[in-house]
Chains A and B, each alone.
Chain A
């Protein structure tokens, strides 16, 4: 017997949409969402707030036979409002037709889908009392505050229980869950009028983050590193602007994959992406060193997991880059054909009130001939990393090399191939590594990946983030090996000061 979820009970709404669309000669995609969320914030040992929220709604995108489209959404999930939404969306689609706007008939050229993906969780949304959650978070936060009197610490815990059901005029009926959670600590260090802020986090899919020993051990280790970094940054100087041979950690490697490549490979932007030519993706182009591959796809239990697209199509795992060659796009229903690549089910939305865009899920960089590391990532100091580099012959004695730690987010302009991401701190490596202030990593999409020379350590792909595109925010994740070594490249610049 199949496990019941909340959106299973919406058959009547689906039937009404089907009938209303049929009556008007419209094709449609109906998106039903049911989301519960709890957010707990603790600040310097005291509960700041506990907030709960719910989102129930439907969004219906209709298509005229010529492919003109309109959209309506509502938080009233009942037959009357569903019918009204079809009517309004139809009126808007008609208006686009009158204005000779854009049309797209891809919706008529795909087979129906019947997929169901319900994740079984060890510690689901309601499995722990809020008292217990609050107690655990206060304990963790208080321990972190104790690290140093110059520190103040905010802890945020979020757990989300989200269900989706996508149906279409062609009989498609897909249901899936996208549970997620994260624990986030923000460390602010203050001394002598100087202030710095760093972060530690751990993503997951349920309450396991709070009730299993392994996540607790992990977040504490990560937090200790972030806290010490915040304190050390109080007295760190600025780095000199320029191009360097460098090592980036796996969180920044996620940033590199996401900003430098993922966005440019999204096919809804191929008409202006630097990876396209006349709107077609330049498949077969050499874009990275031969040992480098970039993979994107959903992973069960991951923070950004989504097995089925917002258009009701199974999401594929794709090699965007395989052995240095551009081999696939992140393709959604409406742009795959135009970009000349297979459909991969990449359409995602923030909520039922939005229209799907081609997006990443979990994106990671993998290299061949990886240098193995026995220790856990969190146990490796900058000095330890330098010793690994020396013994692997990746750096010579006295050779200048910097090490960037901690991903702080990034941004890209795929049309011009510019991307940036920021780190939490920079070390000049050597027997006694020296810490510098964070600085922007700015690069060029078409050349950045060619600089990857080696991967060090096992794969770590649990870097979490929130990806913003066209005013929609969706969870993102990814990673790489513990470290990537990047050769000196004049097109990758660290934005420091003009004199050190």
Chain B
């Protein structure tokens, strides 16, 4: 890819400070490119492969180019492998699609990027042709869930060898490899869990995923009567909590939405460091940890990966800011989290374990699956959802599977003193327990 990128760099540099036919002068450029080789193997209805989950190998080179023209004009375009062959045609199009933006972003100055290991050699070997590992992983998963009395097992594994490059006309040139690996298992259409990191799962992680999926599926097969129509506590296990964080918090922390008055928060809430949430609630982005799914060297604009607290002890610290909105709001740009809700790391000091919280719960639900989260109004924080896979907890004991409709306000839940955070085994983010209307 480097040769390809060097050619593109050369062509763009030749145009710098030249006025082109349509009267625009190129003042700067930035592009990012990634070449991905992806191996995917699926398991459907206990069977490997098949027409819907056939093992697949996908190869693609794609990226984005950003051009800075005279007169505050800018171009954004997706680019692919053909960009050099069709450079003149593209250049004409890029000029036509240039738009004026007083707040258009500039370029990141060159810097030495943090050396975060994100690519695992073993994963690359599998994508390059040693496919057996992926098949074995799924087969072991299938056998493990069958041993847990699952009649129908579905699953999938994706391994990507991804070569990334971000470059600009100021001299920035950051090239690195990464190997995102995702693996999931589902039992009897009831419950699924996944592993996602930038490395292969260890044997222990694999076994834990099988056991957790199998045991939870077992519990969800035992229905119990339920006719509550009241306010009660519900527990969102970490992955469900992350889905809420993504839908309601990530959206509302977007600098773009805040600057344009489309978020639940105002820019003053950040500049005044307003206390919005509980004093023990901190949310940060940290893309610097080796081999983590949400780690990266730099954003597509070249902003370096780092640790940034978005919410600090309940106070709004900074929105998520790309270069444009950092400039517009006169704040520092931030790294942009990768992996949706998983990219937001919640820390709450001194919390109990999930098992302890369950034991202390008189009456509540543990919610494993929700229908309709993506349909909710992110800006209001309100939700009204079908929880189709839940376990009823009475007097600290799990009684069995129930279904419910839950109604509440997630942003208010994060403020409430009676909400509880709980540490869950092997999960990065805590579980979250809040009071909602249940019917």
Q: Which residues of A contact B (CB under 8 A)?
A: 38, 43-44, 46-57, 61, 68-76, 81, 88-89, 91-93, 95-96, 99, 101-104, 106, 129-130, 134, 152, 154, 186, 188, 190, 194-197, 238, 241-242, 268, 271-272, 333-334, 353, 355-357, 408-413, 415-416, 418-422, 437-440, 442, 470, 493, 495-498
Residue in A38, A72, A438 whose CB lies within 8 Å of B377: A438
Partner of B405, one of A186, A355, A442: A442
Establish whether residues A497 and B380, one from each chain, have CB atoms under 8 Å apart when the complex forms. no
For A356, list chain B residues within 8 Å (CB).
51
**Nearest-Cβ distance from residue B195 to partner chain A, whole angstroms:** 16
Whether B60 contacts A101 by the Cβ 8 Å rule is no
Q: Does B313 lie at the interface of the complex (its beta carbon under 8 Å from any beta carbon of A)?
A: no
Q: Which residues of A contact B405 (CB under 8 A)?
A: 241, 440, 442, 493, 495
* Given A81-B59, A95-B132, A498-B231, 16 other A-B residues pairs in contact with their CB atoms under 8 A: A44-B261, A50-B98, A70-B56, A72-B59, A74-B60, A75-B80, A88-B57, A93-B54, A96-B50, A106-B51, A152-B261, A154-B262, A194-B380, A195-B264, A493-B405, A496-B439
Nearest-neighbour CB distance to chain B for A342, whole angstroms, equals 18
Interchain CA distance A311-B155 in the complex, whole Å = 24
Closest residue on chain A to residue B257 by CB atoms:
A188
Contact A272 B375 (CB under 8 A): no
Chain B contacts for A129, CB-based, 8 A: 96
Residues of B within 8 A of A48 (CB): 101, 256
Minimal Cβ-Cβ distance residue in B for A408: B375
Looking at the complex, which of B40-48, B295-303, B351-359 is the stretch in contact with chain A? B40-48
Nearest chain B residue, comparing its CB with the CB of A36 = B93
Binary CB contact string for chain B from 58 to 75 against chain A (1 if under 8 A, 0 otherwise) = 111110000000000001
B226 → chain A closest CB, angstroms: 14
> Which listed residue, B78, B96, B99, B382, touches A54 by the CB 8 Å rule?
B78
Q: Is the interface of A mostly helix, strand, loop or mixed?
A: strand
* Complex Cα spacing A38 to B78, Å: 10
A337 to chain B, nearest CB (A): 12
Instruction: State whether B59 touches A73 (Cβ < 8 A).
Output: yes
CB pair A196 B50 closer than 8 Å: no
When distances are taken between beta carbons in the complex, the residues of chain A under 8 Å from B54 are 61, 69-71, 92-93, 96, 355
The distance from the CB of B410 to the nearest CB of chain A, in whole angstroms, is 13
- Chain A CB within 10 Å, residue with most, of B77, B129, B231: B77
Shortest distance in angstroms between A266's beta carbon and chain B's nearest beta carbon? Answer: 11
Contact at A152–B56, with CB atoms within 8 Å? no
The reply to whether B78 and A51 contact each other, CB–CB distance below 8 Å, is: yes
A195 touches B379 (CB 8 A): yes
B18 at the interface (CB under 8 A from A): no
Q: Taking CB as reference atom, which chain A residue is nearest B35?
A: A75
* Cβ A440 vs Cβ B264 within 8 A: no
Would you call B262 and A188 a contact (CB within 8 A)? yes
Which 4 A-B pairs give the minimum distances between C-beta atoms? A102-B50, A53-B78, A96-B49, A101-B48
A152 to B231, CA, bound (A): 34
A152 to B57, CA, bound (A): 44
Cross-chain contact B439 with A498 (CB below 8 angstroms): yes
CB of B424 within 8 A of chain A? no
Interface membership of B10, Cβ < 8 A: no
Q: How far is the CB of B167 from chain A (nearest CB, A)?
A: 19
- Does A440 lie within 8 Å of B385, measured CB to CB? yes
9 A-B contacts, Cβ less than 8 Å apart?
A: A47-B101, A54-B82, A93-B49, A99-B49, A134-B99, A355-B51, A418-B386, A420-B386, A496-B439
Are A272 and B152 in touch, CB under 8 angstroms?
yes
A422 to B44, CA, bound (A): 30
Cβ distance B391 to chain A, nearest Cβ, rounded Å: 16
Interface pair B52/A334, CB less than 8 Å apart = yes
Please indicate which of the listed interface residues A74, A103, A186, A440 has the most CB atoms of chain B within 10 Å of its own CB: A440
Residue B289 interfacial (CB < 8 Å): no
Q: Which residues of B contact A439 (CB under 8 A)?
A: 384, 407
Whole-angstrom CA separation of A492 from B243 in the bound complex: 26
Interface flag for B100 (CB, 8 Å): yes
Interchain nearest-CB distance for B423 vs A (Å): 30
Using Cβ atoms and an 8 Å threshold, which residues of chain B touch A106? 51
Tell me which of A51, A152, A154, A498 contacts B229 (CB under 8 A).
Answer: A498
Taking a contact as CB atoms under 8 Å apart, the answer to whether A71 and B55 are in contact is yes
A92 and B78 contact, Cβ closer than 8 Å, known pairs A99-B49, A411-B372, A416-B388: no
State whether the Cβ of B147 lies closer than 8 Å to any Cβ in chain A.
no
For residue B263, CB closer than 8 A to chain A, the reply is: yes
**Cα–Cα, bound, A335→B284 (Å):** 46
The residues in B between 94 and 129 inclusive whose CB is less than 8 angstroms from any CB of A are 96-102, 129
Do the beta carbons of B56 and A355 come within 8 Å of each other? yes
> Is B212 located at the chain interface by the 8 A CB criterion?
no
Say yes or no: is B438 at the interface (Cβ < 8 Å to chain A): yes
Contacts of A271 in B (CB 8 A): 45, 152
How many angstroms from the CA of A51 to the CA of B407 in the assembled complex?
38
Residue of B nearest to A496 (CB): B407
Q: Are B262 and A186 in contact (CB under 8 A)?
A: yes
Distance (whole angstroms) from the CB of A468 to the closest CB of chain B:
8
B230 is an interface residue with CB less than 8 A from chain A: yes
Q: Identify which of B55, B101, B372, B384 contacts A70 (C-beta below 8 A).
A: B55
Does A440 lie within 8 Å of B384, measured CB to CB?
A: yes
Interface centre among A88, A102, A103, A408 (most CB of B within 10 A): A102
User: Is residue B378 within 8 Å, beta carbon to beta carbon, of the partner chain?
Assistant: yes
When the two chains form their complex, are residues B96 and A130 in contact, meaning their CB atoms are under 8 A apart? yes
Which residues of chain B are near A54, meaning CB under 8 Å? 78, 80, 82
Known: A96-B48, A102-B49, A129-B96. A73 touches B58 (CB 8 A): yes
In the complex, which of the residues A93, A154, A241 has the most CB atoms of chain B within 10 Å of its own CB atom? A241
Residue of B nearest to A53 (CB): B78
